[in-house]
Amino acid sequence: MRLFHYQTVKAVDAGERTKGVKVRWLITEETGARTFAMRLFEVEPEGYSPLHTHPWEHEIFILKGEGIAIGEEGEHPIKEGDVIFIPPDERHQLRNTSDEKLMFLCLIPLKPTH
Amino acid sequence: MRLFHYQTVKAVDAGERTKGVKVRWLITEETGARTFAMRLFEVEPEGYSPLHTHPWEHEIFILKGEGIAIGEEGEHPIKEGDVIFIPPDERHQLRNTSDEKLMFLCLIPLKPTH
């Protein structure tokens, strides 16, 4: 068993085409995971993840804050306790539209989905 | 994209050898998941999950409350924001040792790990 607080994992810049987004890779292959990885994202006010598409799914749980999720059918408000499933190949983006930090878990498969 | 609040998913009894545990299956194959499932557990004070072993891993995030995680090396206190990785075949149990509800996400692979 590996047990640690999420804040003990370094938050790193989430990369290109993001604004004000840090990511902590909580559970990865290094931890021992074989199937999927757990990441925690922190998005500053007015920040956003990239509007992008990829061939793997996302399983998301909103921990804190408010914002919008943009999918192929438009925008949806998001708040603490919301669950989002984004299937492979669907264009998506999460944006913080509030004055507070938006925090969410986003899990992805470690191996190609197709 | 599928988006819903966790409370819209029915909480069902978590089954044999548990005490005071309800589970909501948030993301499953029915949702469209191909690789892993997201479940949310709610454990009443003095409640516990079974002390058991199985050939798949757990990826856990503690959302709320306090308790203990029992692994092969003994007991560890758990609290909000803690992350737990339980590898395949490690005996484990989570117990609520507080006066408030213990809530956590627990994700598992959909296909056999080995």
For residue B25, being part of any structural domain is answered with yes
pLDDT tens, position by position, B42-59: 999 999 999 999 999 999
Instruction: Write the ipTM.
Output: 0.96
For residue B87, being part of any structural domain is answered with no
For residue A92, being part of any structural domain is answered with no
**CATH number of the domain where residue B57 is located:** 2.60.120.10
Interchain proximity B107–A81, CB inside 8 Å: no
Instruction: List, in sequence order, every residue forming a beta bridge with B4; answer none if it has no partner.
Output: A83
For residue A35, being part of any structural domain is answered with yes
pLDDT band at A9 (very low <50, low <70, confident <90, very high): very high
Q: Give the mean model confidence (pLDDT) for residues A29-45.
A: 97
Length of chain B: 114
Distance (Å, whole) CA A100 – CA A61: 17
Helix (H, G, I), strand (E, B) or coil at A68: strand
For residue A51, being part of any structural domain is answered with yes
Interchain proximity A33–B57, CB inside 8 Å: yes
For residue A45, being part of any structural domain is answered with yes
**What range defines the domain where residue B55 resides?**
10-70+94-109
Domain count within chain B: 1
Q: What is the pTM of this model?
A: 0.96
CB atoms within 10 A of CB A59: 25
pLDDT tens, position by position, B2-37: 999 999 999 999 998 999 999 999 999 999 999 999
**Of residues B1, B105, B109, nearest to A71 (C-beta):** B1
Interchain proximity B82–A27, CB inside 8 Å: no
Distance (Å, whole) CA A21 – CA A106: 13
